[in-house]
Amino acid sequence: MSRTLSYREAMREAMHEALANDPRVFLMGEDVGRYGGTYAFSKGFLDEFGPERIRDTPLSELGFVGAAIGAALGGMRPIVEVMTVNFSLLALDQIVNTAALYRHMSGGQFSVPLVVRMTTGAGRQLAAQHSHSLEGWYAHIPGIKVLAPATIEDARGMLAPALADPDPVVIFEHAGLFNMEGDLPDTRDDLMVDIRSAKVRRIGTDVAIITHGGSLSKALAAAGQLAAEGISAEVVDLRVLRPLDTAAIVAAVAKCRRAVVVDEGWKSGSLAAEVMARIMENVFYELDAPVARVCSEEVPIPYAKHLEDAALPQPEKIVAAVKGLFA
């Protein structure tokens, strides 16, 4: 049996379950309480769980992420909601220079079981300051796990193992997915999600399309178009950006002998570049063509819809990149 949920509903259900089952879990962030969350992820939580566990914070990411680190060190299991990824830059010192390093700098004496959720990505005409895809920045940092749920099952199932992890976990939720609907199993065992491994979302033989987050649906759409033209594409959803599942990447590329990496981040210094480097290090001699990538254009994301669409990876760009490998 299964039921239909939106991405937003799946994440909300995961947080509700965590709050209901573990008194150490609490949620904090801007507008998570009385307003019900900027994206309605915590609607109704304040009335049900009270202000001690659903905490509205001042507009100070540096302050409330730091407070959450202290709570985690004290035995709590905080979920911090950062409204959008660009605002997380105000908390970089706390995430990168404190939470990520405590275990190392304490010689293993302390851990920081903290989950930071943040909205990422473009595609909704929110202009340059609210359309960043900075997952690659965080995936660069030792000491944290970085997750990018792109499906209903991952939105529902990644939070519990993230909260159980003794070290900080950063979850990137692409805003373009929030209203996406899908089927979810009813049984609890089927909701368990591995937060260490990539997952093949479509099996193919001719080219591996490797992506994550908001670009997964575009990669799958491109694979459908390619199939109609006789090209079989395997679509790999990285979903765990740190640590990267190098074995899954290598297996897909060795099988298909061609690869396209799709990343909504900018090309320069991107996560796509890291994936390409691992392909070259591990499976270079299996390739029948150079690895290609489709990234956002090297510009601040425009506000105008037609320009925004032109700046971002799209199925048509992915199809063109794949066909270029067979030219």
Known catalytic membership, residue 61: yes
Q: Give the strand order in the sheet containing 54-56.
A: 54-56, 25-29, 77-82, 115-120, 169-174, 145-147, 240-242
Catalytic residue among 9, 30, 81, 130: 130
Residue pair 19/53 in contact (Cβ under 8 Å)? The answer is yes
Residue of 307, 59, 84 lying closest to 174 (CA atoms): 84
Q: Phi and psi for 305 in degrees, rounded to 5?
A: -60, -45
In DSSP terms, 174 is beta-bridged to 120
The residue written with tokens 């909300």 in the block is 12
- Token pair listed for 209: 């399309």
Catalytic residue among 9, 61, 234, 264: 61
Known catalytic membership, residue 130: yes
Cα-Cα-Cα-Cα dihedral sign, residues 24, 25, 29, 35: negative
Q: Which residues are catalytic?
A: 61, 130
